[in-house]
Amino acid sequence: MTAVASAAPVSLLVRRPEGMLLKFLFWSAVVHAALFSVALVYAKLHEEAAIDLDQKPIKATLVRQGTPRDEKLLPRIEQAPPPPVEQKAPEPAPTPAPPKTVAPAPVAAPAPPKTKQAGEKKADARQQLFGAFDKMSKSKPDTTGAANGDPSGDSAVAEGEAYYAQLRAQITRFYDVSDTIPDSERIRLTAQVAVVISPAGQLERARLAKSSGNDLFDSAVMTAVKRAAPFAPPPTHLRDPLSKYGVVLQFRP
């Protein structure tokens, strides 16, 4: 009897007092729950603007050739308004997501779209007109920029940044917002859309992360993202983050 009693503390088969284990489990659960909720709260608070890229604004201005208009004269409208006498029947607009073919950009370091700015058409026409002369002087450098360059693009500093600028330019092309939104509201509209982009450039998911409070604006930004897709395949180093964590698009009018 005494032998059994003396052996009890070392035997694995003997039950230990249960209070200790319960205490441990309880505190473990509490700590986990606390950590988890802290993380959740932090995530909720910092859902928007986790990192602001603070990109350099891409600016392009059209410079008109020829002599400027006399300041004493009344201004002229450069683009003639459409003939308003007979309004043409508006064509049925395309379905929300027309299949679009965007030439996937070669990822392997394209030449920066440095000089491709205004007047591409003009350049074409001129090329046709003076093709004969061009042939005579073959040494002219190619100044039309990269094939996937944006007409408003500058020379991108970094590849990643260039891709984001490309995304932005592509979405901006489809960024149509209704004129009916009053001016007073326009200045304070902000919506965030979280998008996940596959390595091939497909739009995997788009979710309205933060509503602007205006249904028309919200639906306009969602439409812009959906119509702009598919995008060019992201560069190698962005494929993983873009397909896992995505990117947040913050829209202002």
Partner 1 sequence: MRTLFLSLLLCPLATLAQAPVIEISGANFRPLPIAVPLPQALNDGARSVAPEFDDAFFFDCSAAGIFQVLDRKSYLADSREGFSASTITFSRWADVGAEALVKVQLSVDGRDLRGEMRLFTVSSGKEELRLVHVVPLDQPRKLAHFFADALYKQFTREPGPFQSHLAFVRRVGKGKDVYLGDWDGKRATPVAQGNINLLPVVAPQGDAVAFTSYKSGKPALYIQRAGSAAVPLVTSGAMVTGASFSPDGRRIAYSMALGEGAQLFVADSNGGNPQPLTDTPYFINSSPTWSPDGKRLAFVSNRAGTPQLYVLTVANPKDVRRLTFQGNYNQTPDWSPRGDLIAFTARDERNAFDLFTVNVESGKVTRLTQDQGNNQEPSFSPNGRLIVFSSNRTGGNMLWVMTAEGQNQKMLPVEKGDYSTPDWGP
The nearer residue to partner 1, 35 or 109, going by C-beta atoms, is 35
Q: Which residues bind partner 1 (CB under 8 A)?
A: 35, 38-39, 42-43, 46-53, 55, 71-77, 80-81, 83-85, 87, 89-96, 164, 167-168, 171-172, 175-182, 184-185, 192, 194, 215-216, 219-220, 241, 244-253
The nearer residue to partner 1, 34 or 109, going by C-beta atoms, is 34
CB of 48 to partner 1, least distance (A): 7
DSSP label of 193: E
Q: Do the Cβ atoms of 165 and 58 come closer than 8 Å?
A: yes
247: CB partners within 8 A, 6+ apart:
164, 167, 194, 195, 197
The nearer residue to partner 1, 72 or 138, going by C-beta atoms, is 72
The nearer residue to partner 1, 90 or 141, going by C-beta atoms, is 90
Of the candidates 168, 227, 239, 170, the one whose C-alpha atom is nearest the C-alpha of residue 201 is 239
The nearer residue to partner 1, 4 or 51, going by C-beta atoms, is 51
CB of 3 to partner 1, least distance (A): 41
Q: How far apart are CA 32 and CA 1, in angstroms?
A: 44
The nearer residue to partner 1, 198 or 219, going by C-beta atoms, is 219
DSSP label of 239: H
Number of Cβ atoms within 10 Å of the Cβ of 9? 8
CB of 199 to partner 1, least distance (A): 16
The nearer residue to partner 1, 19 or 92, going by C-beta atoms, is 92
- 132 burial level (CB within 10 Å; 0-12, 13-18, 19+): exposed
Alpha carbon of residue 37 to chain centroid = 30
CB of 77 to partner 1, least distance (A): 5
CB of 62 to partner 1, least distance (A): 15
CB of 20 to partner 1, least distance (A): 19
Q: Do the Cβ atoms of 228 and 174 come closer than 8 Å?
A: yes
Number of Cβ atoms within 10 Å of the Cβ of 222? 17
CB of 188 to partner 1, least distance (A): 13
The CA radius of gyration of the chain, in Å to the nearest whole number, is: 30
Q: How far apart are CA 121 and CA 36, in angstroms?
A: 58
